[in-house]
């Protein structure tokens, strides 16, 4: 799908009731699979709609970041409940979440690239031209995101897909207890992370693609732990802390890789090619350093 296309979000057939109050602990522990979905998803939906509204007047980087995170959390929650959801409706919802996260992420990506280029400028003053150009690209990304992410359309889309999900869950698992279900989905996500970590470390060298797969699996597990931690007996606080630390390391590595790819794919008419090349060379050096650190963390997970 071309992210620059005018991607239309469907209008809702009815409204998904958004309760802005946080879910009570007793409900999360004793509720059904269906009722707990509504309790978990509504705060995320409320935050997503609010962030989308703020984008129209504010191009702050943190708003774009939080919006992208909110859509990623929705994807993780849909994966958790996918055994009881309709495949076609779930695929449509996840496609919408991915698209909107990518649009919101365009601005965030240029923010990250710009910050890295400023560090590269410390070793080569000529990189300042690319820093300025990246700032212009960032401004273009803000305008694009503000045009594509209309709060009314986002709210309508979320109302539609979440109402469908809730209706399906009520008909299929309204009487199933949440605790064993939550425990099984978290365990499955943990196994997937361990499997990808072992796959990444089975050879002497770890590849970028494998680290990216580990990072995605780690994100899914982290979000599920945040959702289900009040439900699962014994908690997972230590795992969540360790996972957050690993994700931070992998995230820094991914920022460098994504920024290099972003710069390679962009055109800079006012920047000499040799300046762009110097910046890419600096990013490559930083990538090697971060990759070693990230690889050590992944090997620790695998073992």
pLDDT digits (tens, 9 = 90+) for 267-293: 999 899 999 999 999 999 999 999 988
Lowest mean per-residue pLDDT among 15-19, 174-178, 194-198, 291-295: 15-19
Relative orientation angle of helices 178-200 and 273-302, to the nearest 10 degrees: 120
- The fraction of the chain above a pLDDT of 90, given in percent, is 60
Instruction: Identify the pLDDT of residue 14.
Output: 43
Confidence of residue 150 (pLDDT cuts 50, 70, 90): confident
- Looking at residue 8, what DSSP letter applies? P
Instruction: Identify the pLDDT of residue 28.
Output: 59
Average pLDDT over residues 157-179: 93
Q: Is a pLDDT exceeding 50 seen at residue 130?
A: yes
**pTM of the complete model:** 0.85
Q: Is a pLDDT exceeding 60 seen at residue 26?
A: no
> Which CATH class for the 25-302 domain?
mainly alpha
Q: Is a pLDDT exceeding 50 seen at residue 222?
A: yes
**242: closest CA among 184, 193, 182, 180?**
193
- Looking at residue 159, what DSSP letter applies? H
Mean pLDDT over each residue of the chain, to the nearest integer: 86
Instruction: Identify the pLDDT of residue 245.
Output: 84
The two three-digit tokens of residue 226, written as one number: 């945040």
Instruction: Identify the pLDDT of residue 2.
Output: 42
Task: Give the count of beta carbons closer than 10 Å to the beta carbon of residue 247.
Answer: 18
Instruction: Identify the pLDDT of residue 97.
Output: 95
Confidence of residue 21 (pLDDT cuts 50, 70, 90): very low
d(C-alpha 2, C-alpha 33), whole Å: 36
d(C-alpha 232, C-alpha 217), whole Å: 20
Instruction: Identify the pLDDT of residue 303.
Output: 75
Instruction: Identify the pLDDT of residue 235.
Output: 57
d(C-alpha 193, C-alpha 182), whole Å: 17
Q: HSE of 248 in the Cβ direction (CA atoms, 13 Å)?
A: 6
285 CB-near residues (< 8 Å, 6+ apart): none
269's enclosing H/E stretch is none
């Amino acid at each position: 799908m071309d992210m620059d296309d005018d991607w239309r979000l469907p209008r809702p057939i009815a409204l998904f009731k958004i309760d802005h109050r946080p879910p009570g602990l007793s409900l999360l522990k004793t509720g059904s699979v269906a009722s707990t979905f509504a309790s978990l998803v509504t705060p995320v939906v409320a935050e997503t709609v609010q962030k989308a509204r703020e984008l129209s007047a504010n191009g702050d980087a943190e708003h774009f970041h939080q919006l992208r995170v909110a859509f990623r959390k929705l994807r993780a929650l849909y994966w958790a409940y996918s055994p009881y959801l309709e495949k076609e409706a779930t695929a449509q919802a996840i496609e919408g979440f991915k698209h909107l996260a990518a649009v919101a992420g365009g601005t965030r990506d240029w923010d990250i690239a710009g910050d890295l280029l400023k560090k590269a400028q410390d070793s080569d003053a000529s990189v300042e031209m690319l820093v300025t150009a990246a700032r212009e690209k960032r401004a273009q990304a803000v305008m694009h995101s503000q045009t594509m992410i209309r709060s009314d359309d986002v709210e309508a889309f979320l109302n539609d897909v979440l109402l469908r999900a809730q209706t399906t869950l009520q008909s299929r698992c309204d009487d199933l207890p949440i605790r064993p279900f939550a425990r099984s989905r978290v365990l499955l996500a943990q196994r997937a992370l361990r499997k990808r970590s072992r796959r990444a470390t089975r050879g002497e060298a770890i590849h970028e693609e494998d680290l990216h797969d580990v990072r995605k699996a780690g994100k899914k597990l982290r979000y599920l732990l945040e959702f289900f931690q009040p439900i699962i007996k014994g908690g997972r606080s230590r795992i969540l802390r360790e996972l957050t630390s690993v994700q931070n390391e992998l995230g820094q590595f991914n920022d460098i890789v994504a920024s290099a790819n972003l710069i390679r794919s962009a055109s800079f008419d006012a920047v000499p090619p040799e300046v762009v090349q110097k910046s890419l060379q600096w990013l490559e050096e930083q990538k090697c350093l971060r990759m070693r650190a990230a690889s050590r963390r992944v090997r620790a997970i695998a073992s």
